[in-house]
């Protein structure tokens, strides 16, 4: 046999102890810029149109008119709301990917109240009922997997994932119960909608703004928030200091569910006044990415949800302008996400190149 060649690895990967703030920001900005360039290239490949058109169209879609800005802000608010919902659970290392279903169930409860009581109950009371019903329904939906996780350590990722589709079918079921024609479309019930502050979007946006601040304070400064962090970091430590881990899991998932309920309420009671199986529109999944990208910090989530909402509105415009349907929106969003997900690597690790050895094996 030949003598073992001195194949030294070209580089190896070392975990960074700490990275200066500006460097972290720089890496992320670079990733987004690279991602936007890639998107433009993809766009050029698909349409043979100038990338400048692409950027202009995107910007236009997000900021072109006052209405568009409001629309984007609203979309951002809903996304942020769901992201807030999943955050406490994630901080606890409870992989709740069931926000989609929790939002839907909340919206369904809201729609049910609207459907059954809008003619018999005075508006303010109806609003209260809608709110309570949404929150309660989502809480129940969220606490079911939590009970099994807390008591029998049932895999919560898979459990919550399955709950999403049960929720979808539940919505489809009730729509067919309510709409006898079988059309599957529940006519909007704007007469039962939540009150408007200013224009059509301000109520939703203000509610989410308030929620963001509250959740930030809750996680950062409250005893509950501290317990969530300890349970997330180490269940052993939590037990050691006498935290009732089960209780924290249940309580936190109830909170998570409650905020999902608010999102459902805002979507159904505050925006569309109706519901369908697609009312959550995949935002429950997008929210997971928003929360994760922001490192579970509610204030940073304002930024990340803005980024996603901007992408979604912008690419919607692109698909309108260039007759491409919504596929471009998905593709662009995914490309940008991949770049941001990928750049985390360069924030957490650095490549150390080996000093060239005396006898290079090349």
Partner 1 sequence: MNFLSFFIQAVRTGMSFLLGSTGETLTEKSGHLNLGIPGIMCVGAASGCLAEAMYLTSVGGEAQANKLLIVLIPILVSFLAAMLLGVLYCFLTVTLRANQNVTGLALTTLGVGIANYLSKQFSNGLLPFASATKYFTAKLPFYETMKASPHAFVQVLGDIFFSYGVLVYLAIIIALIVSFVLTRTRTGLNLRAVGENPATADAAGINVTRYRYLATMAGSGIAGLGGLCYIMDNLNGNWEYTVDAVGWLAIALVIFTIWRPNIAILGSIVFGGLYIVGNYIIGISFQNKELIKMLPYVITIIVLIFTSFTKKKEIQPPQSLGLSYFREER
Partner 2 sequence: MQKQTAIELKGVTKTFGTTVANKNVSLTVNKGEILSVLGENGSGKTTLMNMIAGIYFPDEGQIFINGEEAVIRSPKDAFAYKIGMIHQHFKLVDVLSAAENIILGLRGEGRYNLNKAAQKIKQISEQYGFEINPKKKIYAMSVSEKQTVEIIKVLYRGADILILDEPTAVLTPQETQKLFDVLRRMRDDGKAIVIITHKLHEVLSLSDKVAVLRKGEYIGTIETREANEAILTEMMVGKKITLNIDRLDPVSPEDRLIVSDLECVNRDGVKVLDHIDFTARSGEILGIAGIAGSGQRELLEAIAGLQHIDAGQIIYHDPKTGKEENLRDKTPLQIRDLGVRLSFVPEDRLGMGLVGNMDIVDNMMLRSYRKGKGVFLQRKPPKTLAEKIIDELEVVTPGPSTPVRRLSGGNVQKVLVGREIAASPTVLMAAYPVRGLDINSSYLIYHLLNQQKQKGVAVIFVGEDLDVLLALCDRILVIGSGHVTGLVDARHTTKEEIGLLMTKTEVKHHEEA
170 contact, one of partner 1, partner 2, none, CB 5-8 Å limit per kind:
partner 1
Is residue 239 a contact residue for partner 2 (CB under 8 A)? yes
Task: Give the H/E segment covering residue 72.
Answer: helix 66-91
SS (H, E, C) 90-116: HHCCCCCCCHHHHHHHHHHHHHHHHHH
- For position 36 contacting partner 1 by CB under 8 A, the verdict is no
Q: Which two tokens stand for residue 286?
A: 């997008």
- Judged by beta carbon, residue 214 or residue 331, the one nearer partner 2 is 214
Q: Site size for partner 1, by CB under 8 A?
A: 55
Considering only 226, 327, 342, 345, the residue that binds partner 2 (CB under 8 A) is 226
∠ CA 269-140-225, rounded to 5° = 95
Question: Quick check: helix, strand or coil at residue 353?
Answer: strand
Do the beta carbons of residue 135 and residue 263 sit within 8 Å? no
- From partner 1, partner 2, none, interface partner of 341 (C-beta below 5 to 8 A by class): partner 1
What burial letters (b/e) apply to 102-120, b meaning 16+ CB within 10 Å? bbbbbbbbbbbbbbebbee
185 interacts with partner 1 by CB under 8 A: no
Minimum distance of partner 2 from residue 225's CB (angstroms): 8
Task: Tell me the C-alpha distance between 151 and 179, whole Å.
Answer: 40
Distance between CA atoms of residues 326 and 313, nearest Å: 11
What's the full length of the chain, in residues? 362
> Other CB atoms closer than 10 Å to residue 239's CB: what's the count?
13
338 binds partner 1, rule: CB under 8 A: yes
**Which option in partner 2, partner 1, none does residue 158 bind, with CB closer than 5 to 8 A by kind?**
partner 1
Site residue total, partner 2 (CB under 8 A): 30
Contact of residue 69 among partner 2, partner 1, none (CB under 5-8 Å per partner type):
none
Sites for partner 1 among residues 46-65 (CB under 8 A): 46
> Which residues 182-221 are close enough to bind partner 2 by CB under 8 A?
221
What the block records as the tokens of 169 is 């079918």
Q: Is the dihedral of CA 290, 295, 298, 301 positive or negative?
A: negative
Residue 15 in contact with partner 2, rule: CB under 8 A:
yes
Question: Which residue lies nearer to partner 1 by CB, 229 or 347?
Answer: 347
Binding part of the chain for partner 1, among 63-71, 131-139, 241-249, 331-339 by CB under 8 A, reads 331-339
Q: Which pair of structure tokens corresponds to residue 148?
A: 């099994």
Least Å from the CB of residue 256 to partner 1: 16
Do 361 and 33 touch, CB atoms closer than 8 A? Answer: no
Judged by beta carbon, residue 169 or residue 237, the one nearer partner 2 is 237
Closest to 150 in 3D by CA, of 229, 219, 89, 85: 89
Please tell me whether residue 234 binds partner 2 under the rule CB under 8 A: yes
Residue 12 vs 196, nearer CB to partner 2: 12
Are 42 and 335 contacting, i.e. CB atoms less than 8 angstroms apart?
A: yes
Residue 133 CA to its chain's centroid (Å)? 22
Using a 10 angstrom Cβ sphere, with 0-12 exposed, 13-18 middle and 19 or more buried, the burial of residue 124 is: exposed
Judged by CB under 8 A, which stretch of 59-67, 112-120, 174-182, 225-233 contacts partner 1? 174-182
Binding partner of 153, given partner 2, partner 1, none, CB within 5-8 angstroms per partner class:
partner 1
Please report how close the Cβ of residue 132 comes to partner 1 at its closest, in angstroms: 25
Residues that bind partner 2 (CB under 8 A): 3-9, 12, 14-15, 17-18, 221-227, 229-230, 233-234, 236-237, 239-242, 244
Contact footprint for partner 1 (CB under 8 A)? 12-15, 46, 95, 97, 148, 152-155, 157-159, 161-166, 169-170, 172-174, 176-177, 182, 184, 282, 285-286, 288-289, 292, 324-331, 333-335, 337-338, 341-342, 344-345, 348-349
């Amino acid at each position: 046999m030949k003598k073992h060649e001195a194949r030294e690895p070209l580089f190896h990967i070392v975990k960074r102890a700490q990275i200066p703030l500006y460097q972290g920001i720089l890496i992320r900005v670079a990733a987004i810029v690279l991602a936007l360039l890639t998107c433009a290239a993809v766009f050029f490949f698909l349409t043979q149109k100038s990338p400048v058109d692409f950027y202009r169209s995107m910007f236009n879609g997000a900021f072109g008119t006052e209405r568009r800005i409001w629309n984007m802000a609203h979309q951002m608010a809903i996304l942020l709301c769901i992201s807030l919902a999943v955050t406490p659970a994630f901080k606890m290392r409870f992989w709740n990917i069931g926000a989609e279903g929790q939002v839907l169930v909340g919206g369904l409860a809201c729609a049910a109240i609207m459907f059954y009581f809008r003619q018999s109950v005075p508006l303010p009371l109806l609003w209260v009922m809608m709110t309570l019903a949404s929150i309660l329904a989502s809480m129940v939906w969220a606490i079911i997997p939590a009970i099994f996780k807390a008591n029998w350590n049932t895999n919560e990722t898979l459990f919550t994932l399955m709950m999403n589709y049960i929720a979808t079918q539940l919505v489809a079921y009730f729509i067919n119960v309510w709409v006898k024609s079988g059309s599957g479309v529940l006519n909007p019930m704007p007469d039962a909608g939540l009150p408007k502050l200013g224009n059509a979007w301000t109520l939703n946006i203000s509610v989410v703004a308030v929620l963001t601040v509250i959740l930030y304070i809750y996680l950062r400064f409250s005893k509950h928030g501290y317990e969530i962090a300890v349970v997330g970091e180490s269940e052993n430590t939590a037990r050691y200091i006498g935290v009732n881990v089960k209780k924290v899991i249940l309580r936190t998932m109830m909170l998570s569910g409650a905020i999902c309920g608010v999102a459902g309420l805002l979507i159904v009671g505050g925006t569309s006044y109706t519901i369908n199986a697609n009312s959550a529109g995949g935002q429950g999944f997008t929210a997971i990415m928003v929360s994760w990208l922001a490192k579970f910090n509610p204030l940073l989530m304002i930024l990340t949800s803005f980024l996603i909402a901007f992408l979604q509105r912008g690419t919607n415009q692109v698909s309108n302008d260039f007759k491409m349907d919504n596929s471009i929106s998905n593709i662009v969003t995914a490309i940008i996400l991949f770049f941001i997900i990928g750049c985390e690597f360069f924030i957490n690790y650095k490549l150390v190149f080996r000093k060239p050895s005396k006898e290079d094996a090349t």
